[in-house]
């Protein structure tokens, strides 16, 4: 393959586009790979499309290698299947909806669980047909509230989505493991570093799920992992399970007693007062925020329009993490509890809410879920449900009983690893893949079952697995660039070798042409900068911006029978003889 810059549909930019912030967006636009075409939508130019296809092909090859078969669905789909699974409502504003000329509802698919389930139902009806894993590489549509960062979060993007179908849970586990392995191979080939983290399944439903995150600061996901990888634990913050003892040994705490604590609607004010008031001071040490039990009220809004209050109790040194809370209450959305809501619930005294009125059996009737650190036997200072008063020595299990636990408290760096107890660290990552054990949710909703060996109908159990293909292009760019431009791994690069003709000397041009002819004959993909009247400086800069892994300069060395070979990533240059150049470069490119 030989592409000539003299005719390539390309214009590089001399300056960074002002609306691009993250490196991948900035450099892909500047290098002439993509152009913004719509809010959250991009046009791929020849160089970009070439990289995109390389990535797509690697994904495809690895799926095929694992024995998964490719199919292809429309992106434009009718409402009914999504109605059957409840996702027409659950997806909310994020779903692109439209009507045909008869007024029938359609959607642009955000993902295809329903259609795959129906397709298998359409064709298969026996356990003998299973297991089955099929996939597609398709354009997906999600009406994101805020598209951002170029290709990293668009409203139209390309995704490889696979679905597995098994007769039982053991089969699902095998299919899941097969996908997990295929994903590891895929990301290894793409040159993408990744961390596999435990995740929550969110709107997808189902049980076990893991995310593949490329650990990069520009990523939108926050995850924790065991510092120095002591035990290998890693999880999305949403999925972190706090490790606590079941209960504390029964303490000989005095009976709970209410105290006057005027003007202490905040934890800080309360702790400060408790430490300064002689009658309230603690003998052995100062009170700290972690001694208090903070009760946060929120309103849960469900997709059907109903709403319901919830109180989350947690140690006063932590805030509620909205992402973690929403992951727990999904598909409900969390809204702040406003003054008018307080007016409707007079038993809740803002700033002084305590457990005695909470719980579905309490006077307020509001569900009360607590952080797992609030274990039976733990002792707290908390609101007395009276303005300016708090209760001290309130013991969980003795003086109050919550309705249950909830993982909604912030995770802090240094918190103990749930697995081994060593400190956790917090990092950011780009979600490049996600694998789910869906279970039977979709098969049940859409009636996908097969006959087993005994002639009995068995509901099929499913998994779903996604790789963001267009996002992977951006993620790869993010992992490999410098102040001069992009720097692609060879397998995804738009070419293997970028040949620059440095001078206008006939001998140089002839040498470059002959070299390129030899290279393409050897199966090397070549980009040739044969632009006449363009100064060498411009060509060098463009070559570095475009980021092909090997740059060859055919210039004044030709007089001595040599050319220069430069590694884009390391910057290492070496002069090699023109005579052996094809063999040398072909070996370099494998």
Partner RNA sequence: CGGGGAGUGGCGCAGUGGUAGCGUUCCUGCUUUGGGUGCAGGAGGUCGGGGGUUCAAAUCCCCCCUCCCCGACCA
Residue numbers of the site for RNA (CB under 7 A)?
A: 11-22, 36, 39-40, 94, 111-113, 142, 144-150, 153, 159, 161, 202-204, 211, 220-221, 322-323, 326, 330, 333-334, 431, 434, 464, 466, 484, 502-504, 533, 535-538, 540-542, 544-545, 553-557, 564, 566
Nearer to RNA (CB atom), residue 149 or residue 515: 149
Distances in whole angstroms, Cα of residue 517 to Cα of each of 46, 510, 530: 21, 11, 13
Nearer to RNA (CB atom), residue 58 or residue 543: 543
What minimum distance in Å lies between the beta carbon of 200 and RNA? 9
User: For the chain, what percentages of helix, strand and coil (3-state, to nearest 5) are there?
Assistant: 30, 30, 40
What minimum distance in Å lies between the beta carbon of 5 and RNA? 11
Count of H-run helices and E-run strands, the chain: 14, 32
Nearer to RNA (CB atom), residue 210 or residue 399: 210
What is the SS3 string spanning 431-489?
A: EEEEEEEEECHHHHHHCCEEECCCCCEEECEEEEEEEEHHHHHHHHHHHCEECCEECCC
What minimum distance in Å lies between the beta carbon of 268 and RNA? 21
What minimum distance in Å lies between the beta carbon of 196 and RNA? 13
For residue 279, is it left (φ>0), alpha (ψ between -120 and 50) or beta? Answer: alpha
What minimum distance in Å lies between the beta carbon of 145 and RNA? 4
Neighbouring CB atoms inside 10 A of 346's CB total 10
Nearer to RNA (CB atom), residue 390 or residue 566: 566
Q: CA 260 to CA 276: how far, in whole Å?
A: 13
Nearest C-alpha neighbor of 352 from the set 252, 405, 273: 273
Residue 14 CB burial class (10 angstroms; 0-12, 13-18, ≥19):
exposed
Helix, strand or coil for residue 343? helix
Using N-to-C axis directions, what is the helix angle for 469-479 and 23-30, rounded to 10°? 100
CB neighbour list of residue 540: distance below 8 Å, 6 or more residues apart: 500, 553
Nearest C-alpha neighbor of 392 from the set 401, 383, 404: 383
Determine phi and psi for 443, rounding to 5 degrees. Answer: -60, -40
């Amino acid at each position: 393959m030989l592409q000539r810059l003299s005719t390539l549909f390309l214009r590089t930019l001399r300056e960074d586009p002002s609306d691009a912030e993250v490196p991948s967006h900035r450099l892909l636009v500047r290098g002439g790979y993509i152009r913004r075409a719509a809010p959250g939508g991009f046009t791929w130019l020849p160089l970009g499309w070439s990289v995109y296809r390389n990535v797509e092909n690697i994904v495809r090859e690895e799926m095929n290698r694992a024995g998964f078969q490719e199919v292809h669905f429309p992106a434009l789909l009718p409402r009914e299947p999504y109605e059957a699974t409840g996702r027409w409502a659950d997806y909310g504003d994020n779903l692109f909806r439209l009507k045909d000329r008869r007024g029938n509802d359609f959607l642009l698919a955000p993902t295809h669980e329903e259609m795959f389930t129906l397709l298998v139902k359409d064709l298969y009806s026996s356990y003998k047909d299973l297991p089955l894993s099929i996939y597609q590489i398709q354009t997906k549509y999600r009406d994101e509230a805020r598209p951002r960062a170029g290709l990293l979060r668009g409203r139209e993007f390309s995704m490889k989505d696979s679905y597995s179908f098994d007769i039982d849970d053991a089969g699902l586990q095998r299919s899941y493991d097969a996908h997990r392995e295929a994903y590891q191979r895929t990301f290894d080939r793409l040159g993408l570093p990744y961390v596999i983290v435990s995740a929550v399944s969110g709107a997808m439903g189902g049980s076990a799920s893991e995310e593949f995150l490329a650990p990069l600061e520009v990523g939108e996901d926050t995850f924790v992992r065991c510092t120095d990888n002591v035990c290998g634990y890693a999880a999305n913050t949403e999925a972190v399970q706090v490790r606590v003892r079941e209960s504390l040994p029964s303490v000989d705490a005095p009976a709970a007693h209410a105290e006057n604590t005027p003007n202490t609607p905040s934890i800080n004010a309360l702790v400060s007062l408790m430490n300064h008031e002689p009658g309230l001071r603690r003998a052995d040490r100062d009170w700290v925020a972690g001694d208090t039990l903070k009760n946060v009220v929120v309103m849960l809004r469900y997709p059907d329009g109903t709403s319901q209050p919830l109180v989350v109790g947690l140690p006063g040194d932590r805030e509620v993490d909205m992402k973690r809370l929403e992951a727990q209450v999904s598909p409900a959305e969390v809204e702040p509890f406003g003054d008018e809501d307080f007016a409707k619930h007079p038993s809740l005294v803002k700033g002084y809410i305590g457990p005695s009125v909470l719980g579905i059996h309490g006077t307020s009737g509001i569900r009360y879920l607590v952080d797992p650190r609030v274990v039976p036997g733990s002792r707290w200072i908390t609101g007395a449900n009276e303005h300016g008063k708090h209760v001290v020595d309130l013991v969980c299990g003795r003086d109050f009983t919550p309705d249950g636990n909830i993982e909604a408290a912030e995770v802090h760096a240094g918190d103990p690893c749930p697995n081994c107890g060593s400190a956790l660290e917090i990092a950011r990552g780009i979600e490049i893949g996600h694998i789910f054990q869906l279970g039977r949710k979709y098969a049940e909703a859409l009636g996908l079952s097969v006959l087993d060996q005994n002639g009995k109908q068995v509901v099929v159990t499913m998994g779903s697995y996604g790789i963001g293909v267009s996002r992977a292009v951006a993620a790869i760019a993010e992992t490999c660039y410098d102040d001069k431009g992009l720097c692609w791994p060879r397998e995804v690069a738009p070419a293997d070798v970028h040949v620059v003709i440095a001078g206008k000397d006939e001998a140089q041009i002839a040498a470059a042409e002959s070299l390129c002819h030899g290279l393409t004959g050897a199966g090397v993909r070549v980009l040739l900068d044969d632009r006449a009247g363009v100064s060498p400086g411009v060509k060098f800069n463009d070559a570095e911006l475009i980021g092909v892994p090997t740059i060859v300069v055919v210039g004044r060395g030709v007089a001595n029978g040599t050319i220069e070979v430069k590694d884009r990533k390391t910057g290492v240059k070496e002069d090699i003889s023109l005579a052996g150049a094809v063999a040398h470069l072909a070996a370099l490119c494998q």
